[in-house]
Amino acid sequence: MFETSRRRVLQTLGLGGAASIAGCAADAPTAGNGQAKTNGQQSQPQIDADQVAADPTVLPGPIDRDEPTTHEIELTVEEVTAEVEPGVTFDYMTFDGQVPGPMVRVRQGDTVELTLRNAEDNNMPHNVDFHAAYGTGGGSDATTVNPGEENKLKFQARYPGAFIYHCAVPNLDYHISAGMFGMILVEPEEGLPEVDREFYLGQHELYTDKENGKEGHHAFDFESMTAEEPTYVLLNGEKYAYAAARYGPLEAEVDETIRVFMVDGGPNVTSNFHPIGNVWSKAWPNGTLASVPDEHAQTMKVAPGSCFVGQMETPVPSRIKLVDHALSRVARKGLLAEIDVTGPEDEEIFDPDFDGSSHEGPIYE
């Protein structure tokens, strides 16, 4: 059965006997193995999506049950043209029209029945690889679909944690960079600690044929991707998407606990995830929810193809900036989200207007 399925997939992608690992092939890019068709003489494609940046507040709620169940999950691949920033357009590839793709939230022991659809007006074949699934390619072979088709997959989520899912056709780095990644959260059987708010973010890079900020349509650039020199490094697909100047800031209140889920699609850049003006009071590196969390961690490595789960406390009003602490990515390449915490001040914890009048002399001599 495996060999028959494998031949069918390779024929669909036009690969013949090319070596492939989890959908990844060594062939040069061609239209048949997942490279975008050119736009011909069309210099400025029409925008067909007002926004690709996923709303960080839209995610499934915590699981509150003791028995496993079956989830019927549907994902639709949408190839859309949208703005990276005002005046700059790009041809994205997405799950359900958003970056990152929708969070899938299940409990350890649950079964996922997935339907993957490839929209009829798309140009390329696509599939999905779940890092939460045992099985060939994480399901990528089984789910490969041409435009206008759909395919199905069933798997049991046997181990807990936060895991990436992503497209894994031969040019998987291109498809992931263009937006095809998301998170599947497998809660441990005992569930997660209760918190007041949860946010969901995804980091990735865009490699384009124009300089950062140059107006016009940016085509994908394979040479800069090969050199691992991204034009943009982003949270949720757009420049400063959930900062105050764009769709943000996100909101919280004093004395709340915030949980942040972050998936690093990459395909190449490791994140150094840090909350400016705060700290990860609990941090699960690599999304390993079965492990004892780190405490009071300042900056957490999140490798491409991995996830992070962290919690923050909010004892004072502030604006928390979520950044990659490779700070040129913030200052020059577009990565930033912000959380405004409102409520009463506590000058014992933080006093921004301190003038020294509470002491007769220096504390330290």
The answer on 201 and 177 residing in a single domain is: no
Task: List the CATH number of the domain containing 290.
Answer: 2.60.40.420
**Residue 36 domain flag:** no
**Residue 351 domain flag:** no
Tell me phi and psi for residue 302, to 5 degrees. Answer: -130, 105
The answer on 176 and 201 residing in a single domain is: no
The answer on 263 and 164 residing in a single domain is: no
**Residue 322 domain flag:** yes
Residue at a domain's end among 131, 158, 187: 187
**Residue 361 domain flag:** no
Q: What pLDDT score does 357 carry?
A: 72
Q: What pLDDT score does 148 carry?
A: 98
The answer on 156 and 259 residing in a single domain is: no
> Which two structure tokens, joined as six digits, stand for 86?
């005002």
The answer on 155 and 10 residing in a single domain is: yes
Model pTM score: 0.89
Buried b (16+ CB within 10 A) or exposed e, 247-271: bbbbebebeebbbbbbbbbbbbbeb
Residue 196: partners with Cβ closer than 8 Å, 6 or more residues away? 252, 253, 256, 257, 258
The answer on 90 and 21 residing in a single domain is: yes
**Residue 224 domain flag:** no
Q: What pLDDT score does 124 carry?
A: 97
Count the domains in the chain.
2
Buried b (16+ CB within 10 A) or exposed e, 314-342: bebbbebbbbbebeebbeebbbbbbbebe
Parent domain of 237: 197-207+233-342
Closest CA to 231 of 264, 214, 267, 206: 206
Q: What pLDDT score does 8 carry?
A: 38
| Average pLDDT, 10 consecutive residues per value, the chain (365 residues) | 36 36 38 47 74 98 96 98 98 98 98 98 97 97 97 98 98 98 97 97 98 97 98 98 97 98 98 98 96 96 98 98 98 98 97 79 55
**Residue 136 domain flag:** yes
> Which two structure tokens, joined as six digits, stand for 171?
């040019």
The answer on 161 and 64 residing in a single domain is: yes
The answer on 139 and 119 residing in a single domain is: yes
**Residue 40 domain flag:** no
The answer on 133 and 168 residing in a single domain is: yes
Q: What pLDDT score does 365 carry?
A: 53
Q: What pLDDT score does 361 carry?
A: 57
